[in-house]
Copies of this chain bind each other. A is one copy, B any other.
Amino acid sequence: MQKMKRSGRLVDMTYYLIQHPHQLVSLSYFSERYQSAKSSISEDLTIVKEIFESQGFGSLWTIPGAGGGVKYVPVVSLEEGTELVESLCTKLEDKELLPGGYLYMMDVLGDPRLMNDVGRLFASVYAERQIDAVMTVAMKGIPLAYSIASHLDVPVSIVRRDHRVTEGSMVSINYVSGSAKRIQTMSLSRRSLQEGANVLIVDDFMKAGGSVRGMMDLLHEFNANVVGVGVLVEAEDVEERLVDDYVSIARLEKGHERQKQVKAVPGNFLDTLREVNT
């Protein structure tokens, strides 16, 4: 690459960092990329850091020393987080309930920009945790899982409720679906997760937590660790929840199934974000 002026470097650097979240980039890398002195690169990074942080795009972590460099960590501010959570609640309340009291969520889950925002929310509260993979169960958790994973730069493991020959050897467990009290099976391909991995479990909707509990049991079979549990929407009218420790973006208020209208309130996400920010 030919020598670049500061203005060009700032544009390129911004693009590069956004495309490589959670990756340590050495000053030498940029210095060679732009044929510029490290001192100039340092000044560039100071500008980028200032804008990223003042505009709420996330943090630029500086790791000093020979093996050091910079790392872009997408985190949302409490202000933007609150806005995003509230706008999601409004979107959920716009809906009419389907027969049986079900909430149609595919318009929310089918919106990549919205999923990208929700992914940034979760990536913010797990930014400082060691996470090796994001796990979800097919199929509605998948968009959320990819969005979070791409902000954390880790792979996705998809648990299936059926059994496919195209997945090679699989590990299966039985679990009790919490609300329907039925025995069900879920499976994960052996190739899909490293033994001992640190895993963030996510799902689009949690009622009693049977699916999440099932994924936790499955992780146990891989000697893997649960770093956290994140759900987009939780139901409030639950007698006995099978999962205690989780982060939710929105909560559907008790009794919503009997009315035609949905009442959605913020989940515990903002409390978690507040804790992380302090």
Interface residues of A (CB under 8 A from B): 6-8, 10-12, 14-15, 18, 47-48, 50-52, 55, 57, 98-100, 102-107, 110-113, 115-116, 138-139, 142-143, 146-147, 149-150, 153-158, 160, 165-168, 189, 191-192
For the A-B complex with A10-B11, A104-B168 known, give 16 more contacts whose Cβ atoms are closer than 8 Å: A8-B47, A8-B50, A14-B15, A15-B51, A18-B18, A104-B166, A104-B167, A104-B189, A106-B191, A107-B192, A110-B192, A112-B146, A112-B150, A138-B139, A139-B142, A139-B158
> B110 to A158, Cβ gap below 8 A?
yes
> A55 to B156, Cβ gap below 8 A?
no
A72 to chain B, nearest CB (A): 11
For the complex, give the distance between the alpha carbons of A18 and B47 in Å.
19
Chain multiplicity (copies): 2
For the complex, give the distance between the alpha carbons of A157 and B143 in Å.
12
Interchain residue pairs A-B with the least CB separation, the first 7 = A112-B150, A14-B14, A11-B51, A102-B166, A138-B139, A112-B149, A110-B156
Which chain B residues border A113 with CB–CB below 8 Å?
150, 153
Known A18-B18, A167-B104; contact A52-B98, beta-carbon cutoff 8 A: no
Known A47-B7, A51-B8, A138-B138; contact A155-B15, beta-carbon cutoff 8 A: no
